[in-house]
Structure formats: C-alpha cells, structure tokens
Amino acid sequence: MENKKIVVAIDGFSSCGKSTMAKELAAKVGYTYIDTGAMYRAVSLYAIQNGLMDATTINESALQSKIATIKVDFRPNKKGGSDVYLNDENVESKIRTLEVSNGASRVSTLRFVREHLVAMQQAMGAAKGVVMDGRDIGTVVFPNAELKIFLTASAEVRAERRYKELLQKGENTTFEAVLANVKERDERDTNRKESPLRKADDAVLLDNSTLSPEEQREWLYRVFSDTIAK
C-alpha cells in the first residue's frame, strides 16, 4: 500500500550509528526523524543550567517538581533536518558536550524523567510516519511498532569510530579512555532498573561491526520496503 505509514523503532547501544541510519531512512522515505537521546540530553542540560545536577549528585526532588514545566520539541532547521528546543530555546549545539552526555545517561535512569519524555514521544509518533531512535522505543514507547531494529557493534569498533570523531573535533583523548567510556555507558544502559536497554523479541538484530555505510543503508531500505509491502 503506497500511503501506508508505519512506526520504525531503532534501538541499540551508544555510538552504533543509530541516528545516522535513522536520519537517512527518514529523509529517503519522507518520514519524521525523532532523536529521543536528544530529549534526555535536553533534560540533562536543564538540570545542569538550573543547578539541579553536578558531577556527582542530582537534586531529584527539585527536578521532579519541575519536570512538568520542561518542554522539549523538534523544529525544522535550515539544513533540512531538525533541531531540539528546550522550553523554546534552540539547544542543539549545547547538548553534545561530554558533560551533558554523562548527565543524560544519569537523568535517564529516573522514572519520572522517562515517563515525561515517553509521553511526549508517544504523542510525536501517534500519527505514524516516524523513525525514532533510542534505547526503549521498541520495548516501551512503541511496543506495537511495525518495524523494530536493534543495532549493535562490538565495543572496540564503536570506540574506534567515536575516537576518530573526537580527534577530528580536536579533543585530546586516548582510545583506551573512549573504550572505557563506551563500556561504562553500555553497563549503565543495560543494567538500569527503569527501561533497561534490551532487544524486543520481535526486533530485527543488525550487527554493523563489519558493514560499510552503503551496505547498511541498502539493508535498512530493503527491510523497510518489505515491511511496508506486508
């Protein structure tokens, strides 16, 4: 059916290339791409900016009392993609720092944060025609998504990719430090009590350790087309 719209859920470990994959598919098939990691990052930024989180502690009760006032949405940018807004401020460039990343991983363990963001994500995808990436999209946000993909790659391959990216950005780090950070985030994402990262039973598993971006693109488009044709 030509106009059939579905929900595509892409979950997996960090630094697997989920967002690149999701963004490309959305652009190709005319769907909306929703980066749910950016939403956790926006809450992390909010907590940091408002003095509710530092390197070691989160003021959970204060954050909880504010959670209903934290609005996160996406708006089109000039590059044909979208930027994330926190309470009407474009925070796209502020949410990719190491401090905000680490904070996102921490605030994402809090149930009230997850409930608030999951409700927003469900509203964003209610009309379908979305490609959403994250950790719990196929298990919690859209358990009935028509297409679920679980992406993985070895920790070493992911650390290598991330290390190269950081070097290009001029960051001074070592491969060992990046690998340790990848493993630490895997550990936290898979072992947290609230919505831990796991493959949904009906998700298609893709290990992209040895795939080229082109092979991965072709694979995804084929799986998408097969699902639409069903």
Q: Of 216 and 228, which CB lies nearer to ligand DC in the complex structure?
A: 216
- H or E segment to which residue 31 belongs: none
Q: Which stretch binds ligand DC (CB under 6 A): 85-93, 100-108, 150-158, 175-183?
A: 100-108
Tell me which residue of 135, 230, 153 sits closest to 192, measured CA to CA: 135
Q: Which stretch binds ligand DC (CB under 6 A): 75-83, 133-141, 151-159, 209-217?
A: 133-141
Q: Report, in Å, the least distance between residue 100 CB and ligand DC.
A: 9
Tokens of 172: 């001074």
Q: Of 37 and 220, which CB lies nearer to ligand DC in the complex structure?
A: 37
Q: Tell me: does residue 135 bind ligand DC (CB under 6 A).
A: yes
Euclidean distance between CA atoms 44 and 50, whole angstroms: 10
Q: Which stretch binds ligand DC (CB under 6 A): 25-33, 53-61, 101-109, 153-161?
A: 101-109
Core vs surface per residue 65-76: b (16+ CB within 10 A) or e: eebeebebebee
Q: Tell me: does residue 104 bind ligand DC (CB under 6 A).
A: yes
Q: Tell me: does residue 138 bind ligand DC (CB under 6 A).
A: no
Euclidean distance between CA atoms 99 and 86, whole angstroms: 17
Q: Tell me: does residue 24 bind ligand DC (CB under 6 A).
A: no
Q: Report, in Å, the least distance between residue 4 CB and ligand DC.
A: 25
Q: Tell me: does residue 14 bind ligand DC (CB under 6 A).
A: yes
**Is the Cβ–Cβ distance between 13 and 186 less than 8 Å?**
yes
- 171 to each of 43, 139, 164, 165, how far by Cα in Å? 25, 35, 10, 9
19 exposed, middle or buried (CB, 10 Å; 0-12, 13-18, 19+)?
middle
- Count of residues binding ligand DC (CB under 6 A)? 13
**Is the Cβ–Cβ distance between 114 and 195 less than 8 Å?**
yes
Q: Report, in Å, the least distance between residue 229 CB and ligand DC.
A: 28
Query: Which residues contact ligand DC by CB under 6 A?
Result: 14, 36-37, 40-41, 104-105, 108, 134-136, 185, 189
